[in-house]
Amino acid sequence: MAYFKIEHYSDCQVGEIPANYHFWFYLDAEIGEPTDEYTEEGEEDGNKNFIPTFQKSIKKYFMETVLIPSHLIDAIHRLKFFKYVTVTTPIGDIWTMKNIKTDVTYPFANKTYGIMKIEFDIDEVLTITGCCN
């Protein structure tokens, strides 16, 4: 496992949290291999060849934490409410986290500690529209 720094804030009020109030925490987690989600739209020409008019590739990551306390689980679940969320990797790369999805597994009946799975896109999106000659 390695430590990731998660930072988040919003330029407008989130619930009772004032605008521009910055939060950060360190998360002991493991990140899996990224996957590329690919979207393509287009038309078929007279020779039945597909001609793309729109192509988009989004890099998606999956992260799993070690056993963490419930207050940290709450903070991670609430990341999706903030406009700006970044993760700094152990090697110093900084990614903007988008489309955050979370899930938690509680190994104990009292649910005071859990293991989180976090899925997110990063700001590495490749979009191609129209055609090139």
Average pLDDT, the chain: 91
Give the pLDDT confidence of 37-92 residue by residue, as tens digits. 888 888 888 898 888 888 888 889 999 999 999 999 999 999 999 999 999 999 99
Global confidence as pTM? 0.80
Cα 11 to chain centroid distance, Å, stands at 19
Contact indicator for 2, 28 with CB cutoff of 8 Å = yes
Contact indicator for 3, 90 with CB cutoff of 8 Å = yes
Res 100: pLDDT: 97
Nearest to 85 by CA among 36, 27, 16, 2: 27
Residue 2: both structure tokens together: 């390695």
Contact indicator for 102, 27 with CB cutoff of 8 Å = no
Q: Residue ranges per domain, the chain?
A: 2-35+60-122
Q: Domain 2-35+60-122 belongs to what topology? A: Elongation Factor Tu (Ef-tu); domain 3 (2.40.30)
